[in-house]
Amino acid sequence: MGDMSSTVAICQFRPTASRPDNRARIAEFTADAAARGARLVVFPEYSSYFVDPMDASLAENAETLDGQFVQALQDAASAHDVTIIAGLVETAGERVRNTLAAVDATGLRAVYRKQHLYDAFGQTESDWIEAGALDEPQTVDIDGLRVAMMTCYDLRFPEVARTLVDAGADIIVVPAEWVRGPLKEHHWTTLLAARAIENTVYVVAADHPTPIGVGHSQIIDPQGVVIAGVGTGEDIAVAELSADAVARVREVNPVLRLRRYAVAPR
């Protein structure tokens, strides 16, 4: 695979119910991350608009993929020559979609819509959100590394990550709003590492800070080692990711080649 590498930043940021403020904060974080050498800048789920508990204002503040939020991402990406991945509330008729957009200076490069809705631990995301279709994964290549996306609760379903790896992913990006609760930090960090180990990929996860999220945004290597991360407040962490590292791990741990099960939608 050569010595292809790229520097990635995770931005643990607290979106609010002010869409203009969120866009401004994202521009600031992107400038900071780019100054640290980042080529890919990752933001959490619901970066365009967030309110807790969820209510009808989600639909009122939803946007299309050619709306102000994605345009702001493109402006920031263009200003700093980076690719940005961030979550937005996307218009979808009476409901909304929980969507991730990968954007660079040229515009929208890839889209992912959350497939598994958070109807668990006392929450019912499906009251407001329409689940994404089980489409073929959209990926984006950055410096010779292929990037694919999933969202938050999707992390609990190993099949999602496997479909992304089958699409050639070297890096799985996981924007999240991982809600706090008993053992939730443990579940978050354990599952992030598991998805990296079982698929021999980097996992790049950006969460909301406390008190609503658990924080602990992390960049994890293909052996499950945390190589960069932040605590519970707003912060940025940066790490260099290497295609060589993926190749070396897969040479000694060929789990993808040795597996005997395929993943099929139901």
Active site residues per annotation: 45, 114, 152
- Nearest Cα to 45, choosing from 141, 150, 121, 146? 150
Estimate the crossing angle of helix 158-166 against helix 184-199, to 10 degrees: 30
CB atoms within 10 A of CB 191: 19
Cβ-contact 264, 28 below 8 angstroms: no
| DSSP assignment of 117-146 | ----TT--GGGTBPPPP-PPPP-EEETTEE
- Nearest Cα to 100, choosing from 62, 141, 65? 65
Sign of CA dihedral 81, 141, 15, 191: negative
Amino acid at 197: I
- Nearest Cα to 95, choosing from 58, 133, 54? 58
